[in-house]
Structure 1
Amino acid sequence: MKITKDNEISLVKEILKKLGASEEDCELVAEATIDADLKGFTSHGLGRFPQYLKSIEAGTINLEDNITIEKETPAIALINGNSGFGQAVSYKAMKLAIKKAKEIGVGCVGVHNSNHFGVTGFYSDLAIRDGVIGLVIANTEPAIAPLGASKALLGTNPIAIGIPSDTYIALDMATSATARGKLLEARRKGNSIPEGWALDADGNPTTDPDEGLKGSILPFGAHKGYGLAFMIELLTGPLVSAAWGKEVTGTADPTKDCTKGDLYLAIDPSKFVDPETFKEQTEAFCQEVRDTGDTFVPGDLEVKRIAEAEANGMEIDEKLYEQLKEICSDLEIDIDSYLEE
């Protein structure tokens, strides 16, 4: 079964609307969900959507959300998300960072008391669209064990960077060998995971996603990924009045309050250099990279995947279909009307 871009957006919005979400939240969650699937990050798209519905049912997502700005200066702000949809809180946080960057050159906004927000790059993309550089980091429930240890203590702690240019230049990655969502997706589909992704609870390598979720996910690049995850833990925990380490909950378990933190940074290139010159030099470097051979610039793969998904639709596996069918049945929505064979 497949679903088209427009049908996925409509389905997500109809489900959320029937559950009582605001028009704005329906729109933002749908946009973030389809963004993940179009880019090929299916573990954070429609496949992750049932988690949000469980959070609504458990009361860990507040449908009456409205952010509170707890601290603010011309350059920074600290936001309490009041347990709203992570997508809505993050959108508002990034937009505020962009506004500040446009005014004084840089904007930095910290967030706590939010929820899982989908793919990190969706928010750095917002900066690109407004002609500024975007950088987004976040922490998650423990998934990575410190080097030499076997018990998970750090999150997969993603980082995304977007550079405004005439072509799409963007990096979106976890600091672990893979995102936790990839293991959750593999478990749902009944698939094994590649060697080198995870360890079981005893610290032994495993290709069983369930054992990996019980144990720990390896950092990418050994000490390099671990070091980056460690630093992000501090920048999105203590710095923004959020939890860190073993106290971070709610990014994978929807029944628990989400205690993670996020940091959104926007930089206006025009405050440094002529923006057109910046774009020209950026594109020149990208071309130098491409001219070296059969390689790619960060963002190229996503552009290719988006084109393929928009042309051919996106696959819905049987188990995800059953989950969505149950959800839609309870809400008197005809799931099959949204799907194609």
Structure 2
Amino acid sequence: MKISIDNETKLIETMLEAYGVESKEAKIVAEVVVDGDLKGFSTHGLGRFPQYIKSIKAGTIKTDGDYEIEKESASSAMINGNHKFGHYVTVKAMDLAVKKASETGVGIVGIHDSNHYGIAGYYADLASIQDMIGIVISNTEPAMAAFGGKKALLGTNPITISIPSDDIDNYICLDMATSITARGKLLESKRKGEPIPEGMALDKDGNPTTDPAEGLEGSILPFGGFKGYGLAFMFELLAGPLVSAACGEKVEGTATPDVMCTKGDLLIVINPEFFGGSMQFKFYVDQFVREIREENGVIPGDREVQNISTNYENGIEVDEALYEQLTEMAQEKGLDITSYFDE
């Protein structure tokens, strides 16, 4: 079955508000979740939404209170998310980073005690649409073994970089995990009862596996061997101890809704106007993109643009297991959501 983008937005907002989430937060969560599905990141779209409801019920996502700025300088800040929705906290943090970059050239904001926030690209885009460079680094609970090891000690630790452009046809954004795939891919395959491709994960004994459950208990492999592992290692520290968040085995709650989330995020915004100049930067960005396209090259972000067009027109596929989860959670609050879906 399918759900249209408009209905997905309404579904998320309605369910969240029924579970006690303020309207201003529910709208942000819906925007980010839908953005993930539109861009083709189904593992971080509606498929991840039941995790958020479980977290609300477990009390690991707080529906009361608010985030707070613990430290602040002209170009930096430290935010305590106070276990609010990661989507809401990270939007507010990026807004602050953009404001600081507009005034000083660079804005850097660290976040701790937040929650899973969906796709990182959404937040980096908040900078690029204002003619600035957005960079987002995060760590997650362990899913990847150290290079040469068997035990998962590092997260899938994503990085996103979004670049501004003057060409309306250019969307330039790299949004990637440092593992071969995001943990959400294994969670999605487990929910659907499908195997994962070979060469993606190891079981707890260090043997290759195509069983997503075994991969979740074992270790997802880094992309590019040692290079991917090396980046994951560095991001573990930049998004962990630097921002007063956990790292390694102490990171919890990004995929387990019954425990408080201890991961961290580092947001960096660079204002080209304070360097070579915004107009000059975008001129050379677009020139370089044209050179790549003339050679039939692909730009980071091209796939997302194509997915947005397709998914907005056709709607989002919803598997039976996800539909049943959503229906059951809605019924707990007396909601009937069947009309949101098409056969």
Q: TM-score, normalised by structure 1?
A: 0.98
Could you tell me whether the CA contact under 8 Å between 1:75 and 1:100 is conserved in 2? yes
Could you tell me whether the CA contact under 8 Å between 1:237 and 1:244 is conserved in 2? yes
Deviation, structure 1 residue 130: 1.5
Q: What secondary structure sits across from 1:47 in the alignment?
A: helix
AA aligned to 2:32 is A
- Measure the CA separation in 2 of the matches of 1:120 and 1:226: 19
Question: Residue 182 of structure 2 aligns with which residue?
Answer: 179
Task: Please list every run of 5 or more consecutive structure 1 residues that lacks an aligned counterpart in the other structure.
Answer: none
Deviation, structure 1 residue 277: 2.4
Could you tell me whether the CA contact under 8 Å between 1:65 and 1:85 is conserved in 2? no
Question: Residue 58 of structure 1 aligns with which residue?
Answer: 58
Task: Please list every run of 5 or more consecutive structure 2 residues that lacks an aligned counterpart in the other structure.
Answer: none
AA aligned to 1:301 is R
Deviation, structure 1 residue 276: 2.2
What is the aligned counterpart of 1:250 among 243, 250, 253? 253
- Measure the CA separation in 1 of the matches of 2:273 and 2:96: 18
Pair 1:279-2:285 in alignment: no
Q: What secondary structure sits across from 1:196 in the alignment?
A: coil
Question: Residue 141 of structure 2 aligns with which residue?
Answer: 141
Deviation, structure 1 residue 337: 0.8
- Measure the CA separation in 2 of the matches of 1:65 and 1:221: 42
- Measure the CA separation in 1 of the matches of 2:334 and 2:307: 33
Question: Residue 330 of structure 1 aligns with which residue?
Answer: 332
Deviation, structure 1 residue 65: 3.5
Question: Residue 26 of structure 1 aligns with which residue?
Answer: 26
| 1:43-63 per-position Cα deviation (integer Å, ceiling 9, x unaligned) | 111000000000000000010
What is the aligned counterpart of 1:215 among 198, 210, 218? 218
Question: Residue 265 of structure 1 aligns with which residue?
Answer: 268
Deviation, structure 1 residue 111: 0.4
Moved over 4 A (4+): none
Question: Residue 225 of structure 1 aligns with which residue?
Answer: 228
Pair 1:198-2:188 in alignment: no
Deviation, structure 1 residue 332: 2.1
- Aligned-pair RMSD on alpha carbons? 0.8
Could you tell me whether the CA contact under 8 Å between 1:113 and 1:259 is conserved in 2? yes
Q: Give aligned pairs, total.
A: 340
Could you tell me whether the CA contact under 8 Å between 1:65 and 1:81 is conserved in 2? no
- Measure the CA separation in 2 of the matches of 1:160 and 1:65: 29
| 1:268-314 per-position Cα deviation (integer Å, ceiling 9, x unaligned) | 11111232222121111011111113x31000100000000011111
Deviation, structure 1 residue 317: 0.5
- Measure the CA separation in 2 of the matches of 1:66 and 1:330: 26
| 1:199-232 per-position Cα deviation (integer Å, ceiling 9, x unaligned) | 0000000000000000000000000000000000
Question: Residue 318 of structure 1 aligns with which residue?
Answer: 320
AA aligned to 2:44 is H
- Measure the CA separation in 1 of the matches of 2:160 and 2:329: 32
